């Protein structure tokens, strides 16, 4: 194996150190913007694992984000757990629900699976609205004080780095080959001995854990959660848009898509009525002229000089 020069080995630690040090030079507004970008990056990586690598296109991001948010709120308010345990609960609850839902969801394929995940997220939202035990439509106010902006940024950065590391380890594991086989042709994969249910379950659970943790951070940021926001469709729209704009099935795609999407939001922050329309047009143009995402377009242009 070819050894990398020492300066290349130091690039990642130096980048991480730089990112962790940004709150010392940036104000609260930029810290919140960084939190938003890192949260979107985590969600895009999680969705990329399930949809791009395993071929299971989900529109249920809001379901796992909402479950993670409620898990943090309830474990903190009713069980008085410490912050790390609250976040661990968010990931476990999302993973457990994904495992239970997989029994029904994986009986569906293609478009039917996609519609099934969308229906699941909507069903959870309606359930939480009408379930008074968990606050109903009014939601839940977290008893503990919310972390400071710089602390939230550090938590989001840690989660995004964790998500990127998990995705990289996954791509280097034998499971990645099985996931690609299921994505390309599940029937052929079954004939080759690939246990498709286990492969899809692994991808779904990993994706759900990361999304649940992102939802837990959202609860900590707001200090209050309610079903319309926690399980909202906007989570799915933003996540899918970031993943597609950056490039499906690529390592850098989620990061590039996040930067572009957040920058677009900043440019249009004083024109909220145009934000959704412009973002939609930008997404359509990306699909039309760069169907494999901006990163693939950049890589192709660089290869041709």
Interval 54-83: pLDDT, tens: 999 999 999 999 999 999 999 999 999 999
Rounded-to-integer distance, Cα 224 and Cα 59, Å? 24
Q: How confident is the model at residue 12 (pLDDT cuts 50, 70, 90)?
A: low
Radius of gyration of the chain measured on its C-alpha atoms: 19
The answer to whether 58 and 207 are in contact (CB under 8 A) is yes
Provide, rounded to the nearest whole percent, the portion of the chain with pLDDT above 90.
Answer: 66
Rounded-to-integer distance, Cα 249 and Cα 253, Å? 8
pLDDT of 10: 63
Q: Which residues in 256-284 are b (16+ Cβ under 10 Å) and which e?
A: bbbbbbbebbeebeeeeeeeeeebeeebe
CB-CB neighbours of 243 under 10 Å: 27
The answer to whether 118 and 239 are in contact (CB under 8 A) is no
Residue 200 CB partners (closer than 8 Å, separation 6+): 54, 56, 102, 106, 182
**pLDDT, tens digit, for every residue of 133-145?**
888 999 999 998 8
Alpha carbon 89 to its chain's center: 17
The owner of tokens 């995004």 is: 160
Reduced 3-state DSSP string for 57-79: CCCCHHHHHHHHHHHHHHHHHCC
Residues in the chain: 305
Token pair for 108: 């569906």
Give the strand pairing for 224-225 and 140-141: antiparallel
Q: Is the pLDDT of residue 7 over 70?
A: no
The closest alpha carbon to 243, from 260, 231, 268, 263, belongs to 260
pLDDT of 151: 95
Where do the structural domains in the chain lie, given as residue ranges?
Answer: 8-232
pLDDT of 1: 39
**Long-range contacts of 177-184, Cβ-Cβ distance < 8 Å, separation of 24 or more:** 179/53, 179/54, 179/55, 179/203, 180/53, 182/54, 182/55, 183/53, 183/54, 183/55, 184/55
Between the alpha carbon of residue 210 and those of residues 96, 221, 259, the distances in Å are 13, 17, 19
Mean pLDDT, the chain, rounded, equals 90
pLDDT of 130: 92
- The predicted model gives 234-247 an average pLDDT of 94
Residue 25 CB partners (closer than 8 Å, separation 6+): none
Token pair for 236: 């799915």
The owner of tokens 């412009």 is: 278
Rounded-to-integer distance, Cα 21 and Cα 115, Å? 42
């Amino acid at each position: 194996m070819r050894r990398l020069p020492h300066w290349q080995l130091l690039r990642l630690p130096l980048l991480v150190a730089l990112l962790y040090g940004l709150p010392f030079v940036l104000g609260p507004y930029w810290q919140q913007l960084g939190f938003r970008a890192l949260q979107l990056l985590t969600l895009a990586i999680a969705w990329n694992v399930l949809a791009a690598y395993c071929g299971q296109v989900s529109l249920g991001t809001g379901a796992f984000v909402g479950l993670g948010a409620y898990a943090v709120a309830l474990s903190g308010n009713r069980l008085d757990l410490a912050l790390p345990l609250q976040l661990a609960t968010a990931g476990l609850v999302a993973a457990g629900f994904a495992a239970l839902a997989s029994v029904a969801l994986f009986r569906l394929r293609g478009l039917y699976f996609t519609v099934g995940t969308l229906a699941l997220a909507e069903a959870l939202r309606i359930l939480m609205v009408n379930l008074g035990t968990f606050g109903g439509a009014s939601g839940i106010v977290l008893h503990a004080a919310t972390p400071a902006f710089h602390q939230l940024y550090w938590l989001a950065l840690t989660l995004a780095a964790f998500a990127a590391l998990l995705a990289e380890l996954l791509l280097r594991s034998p499971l990645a080959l099985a996931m690609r086989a299921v994505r390309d042709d599940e029937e052929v994969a079954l004939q080759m001995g690939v246990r498709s249910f286990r492969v899809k379950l692994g991808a779904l659970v990993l994706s759900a854990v990361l999304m649940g943790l992102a939802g837990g951070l959202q609860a900590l940021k707001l200090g209050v959660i309610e079903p319309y926001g926690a399980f909202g469709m906007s989570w799915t729209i933003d996540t899918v848009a970031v993943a597609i704009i950056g490039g499906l099935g690529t390592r850098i795609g989620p990061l590039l898509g996040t930067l572009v999407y957040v920058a677009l939001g900043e440019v249009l922050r004083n024109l909220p009525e145009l934000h959704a329309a412009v973002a939609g047009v930008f997404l359509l143009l990306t699909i039309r002229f760069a169907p494999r995402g901006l990163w693939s377009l950049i890589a192709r242009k660089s290869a041709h000089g």
